[in-house]
Structures are given as structure tokens and as C-alpha cells.
Amino acid sequence: MVQHAFAFLSQQRFLGAPPCAGEAPAARFGVAGVAWDGAVTNRPGARFGPNAIRQASQMLCDATHPLFDLSPTTEICDHGDLHLPNTSLETMRTALQAQAQPLMQHQHIVWLGGDHSITLSLLRALRAVHGQPLAVLHFDAHCDTWSDHFGEPSGHGTWVYEAVQEGLVTPQGFVQVGIRSAAQREARDYVDTLGGRVITARELRGLESPSQLAPITAEIRARLDASNAPVYVTLDIDCLDPAFAPGTGTPEPGGLSSAQVLSLLEELCAMQLPFVGMDCVEVSPPYDHAELTAHIAAVCVWTYLCARLAAQPSPWL
Ligand code: MN
Ligand code: MN
């Protein structure tokens, strides 16, 4: 059978942005969807995430951000969803890297997932484009450091382990935020053991405003700065408490509030640090209620874009 992509790719564009034209679009930022959920542990549905996030973004009207007082609408274009093979994880990952890498050479891209397995391909591509390992700001309920996926080499919870093993990331510049799921100590401590930092959801309890979070943001900034590496943000929507983001495959109660995540994104992503891209993954519309999850996902992506526009452009895009 000929290569077959999923049949339900997004029809809308993020914030109503124009489609990206040509190999080197003029817009500084690109948005692209990765409608894949073939590596989830329990409940599928994240393949519908890109479409739902784009749909929710239409509610942001002129998209002028109340903190940064700017709108990203004239600075972005939308590549739509990539046409990926609906086959094995390994084949999809290879195809994703091959399609993502040329886009990253011309633009700062925000990726709409999809399950978290896609991040490994994106890190492989960024590692190749930038010629050095990445620092990573990783929001998640799960550590994603498992060395196997129930006996298989890869799933949506192995990409951190795989990225470390492949030298795609600098462990000292790896920061995890919101971790709280059940996991053996070896997996939970993996990033800490390598010299990175794991900020658990418990450590963040009661800290919500920018001033309350200031010691945390200062520590993260110092770590990212010291890594002297391009910085990638990966936001697994299950970092949020299911009360704020029920539409995800593996919800974990006791998580972050929308205000906590937005405070962290606003404070960190507007800093003069060399951010080179972001993904927002694990939005699973079949489990959503009142489109809550799609809306906070759209707001997180919008906030990231506005924060980067408020900061001075870095030499890494
Ligand atoms: Mn994850
Ligand atoms: Mn997760």
C-alpha cells in the first residue's frame, strides 16, 4: 500500500494566520501540527490535538496580549499539519525529522502535538540544525525518562531517556517542572542524577504569582543561562491539573494551575535566553470538557509567541 497519512488533518490556521508559503517564509515564527498519537500508554486522541488547539485559538480575537501589549498575528504563518505516515513509531519519527529540519532552518517553529513521542524527532532535528545539544524546559506530570515502553524501545514516556542517550540535550540544562506521577525512583530522579533539575508539582504548591515563583524562575534562568545552549520548551498539557486540562490521555491529579503555568511561561520565555522552539503535546479532545484543555493549550502557545516577541531576537532565531 502507498504511504498513507491521517485523514483528519487541520483545516484551520493558528490565530487565523496565513499559510506558510515557499521554503523560506517571511514570517519569523511558524506553527506546525503533528497529528500523531500512536505511542500513547492508555487513552489515544492526541492526534486530534492540533485541530482543537487551532480551533480554540480563534477565540483570542486580535490576539493582543494583555501583559506584553503586542499581537503575534503579523509575525506568524501556519504550515498546517505535516503529512506523516500512519505506520510505526520509528517510521513516523524518521519522516517527522526529515520534514521538520528544513522548516527549523528558516523559522522559529511552535509544534502542536500529538503525543510526546514526537519531541524526540524535533530534538534530533534541532540538534542537527544548531550543531550542539539543547537545553530543555520540560513541563509534564511525568518524567518521561523510562528506558523502555513496556518492553518496546520507545513510547511517549521514553523520549527524555532517548534524548540523553543520543546526546541531543545537555543534562545540566534540563529542567523538569510539575513532575508527580507514579514512577520508580530511578526514573523520577534520572534528570537530577545527571545534573539537571526536577521541580516537582509538590514543590510548586502554593506558588502561583510571578513574585511567589520568582526564586524558581531565577533558578531556572540561571541554569538555562549556564548551559550556554539553545533552549527548547516542551509543554505536556498534563503538567496542568485535570481540573484545568481534563482532555489528555494520562491525567494526574495534583498538578499545576493555569495561572502557575502562565506565570512561568510569561516570566521565563520573555527573558533574554536563546529559545529556539516549543511544542505543546498530549491535548486529547475526546476527553476534553467545554474545550478547556484546547483553550489553555492555545493560550500557552500564544503566550510563548508573545513573550518571544517581547524579548530581543536571539542569534539562534
Ligand atoms: Mn510527557
Ligand atoms: Mn505527561
21 assigned to some structural domain: no
Q: Which ligand is nearest to the CA of 181?
A: 2
Cα 140 to ligand 2 centroid, rounded to whole Å: 5
pLDDT of residue 315: 61
pLDDT at 10: 79
> What separation in Å is there between the alpha carbon of 181 and the centre of ligand 2?
8
Q: What is the pLDDT of residue 52?
A: 97
Query: What tens digit of pLDDT does each residue of 242-289 get?
Result: 999 999 999 999 999 999 999 999 999 999 999 999 999 999 999 999
The whole-number average pLDDT for the span 17-38 is: 94
**Statement: residue 1 has pLDDT above 70:** no
Residue 70 C-alpha to ligand 1 middle, in angstroms? Answer: 30
Across 202-219, average pLDDT: 98
Cα of 185 from ligand 2 centre, angstroms: 17
Structure confidence at residue 2 (pLDDT): 53
Which of the ligands is closest to the CA of residue 238? 2
What is the gyration radius of the CA atoms in the chain, in angstroms? 18
Q: Is 42 within a domain?
A: yes
Determine, yes or no, domain membership for 9: no
- For 43-70, what is each residue's pLDDT tens digit? 999 999 999 999 999 999 999 999 999 9
Flag whether 53 is in a domain.
yes
Q: Is residue 162 part of a domain?
A: yes
Q: How far is the CA of 160 from the centre of ligand 1 (A)?
A: 9
The mean predicted confidence, pLDDT, of the chain is: 95
Q: Show the domain range for 61.
A: 27-96+109-310
In a domain, 285, yes or no: yes
How many structural domains does the chain have?
Answer: 1
In terms of Cα–Cα distance, which of 32, 47, 19, 44 is closest to 112?
32
Average pLDDT over residues 98-115: 97
Distance 235 CA to ligand 2 centre (A): 9
Q: State the pLDDT confidence band at 9, using cuts at 50, 70 and 90.
A: confident
What cell numbers appear for 229 in the block? 545552549
39 confidence band (pLDDT: 50, 70, 90): very high
pLDDT of residue 202: 98
Residue 282 placed within a domain = yes
Provide, rounded to the nearest whole percent, the portion of the chain with pLDDT above 70: 96
CATH number of the domain that residue 55 is part of? 3.40.800.10
More confident residue, 150 or 287: 287
What is the whole-number distance in angstroms between the Cα of residue 256 and the centre of ligand 2? 12
Predicted confidence band of residue 3 (pLDDT cuts 50, 70, 90): low
Q: How confident is the model at residue 120 (pLDDT cuts 50, 70, 90)?
A: very high
- CA neighbor of 122 nearest in space, from 84, 176, 152, 148: 84
Residue 264 domain-assigned (yes or no):
yes
| Peptide bond preceding 114 in cis form (omega within 30 of 0) | yes
Task: Give the residue ranges of DSSP H helices in the chain.
Answer: 49-57, 89-106, 118-130, 159-165, 185-188, 190-193, 201-204, 210-227, 258-269, 292-310
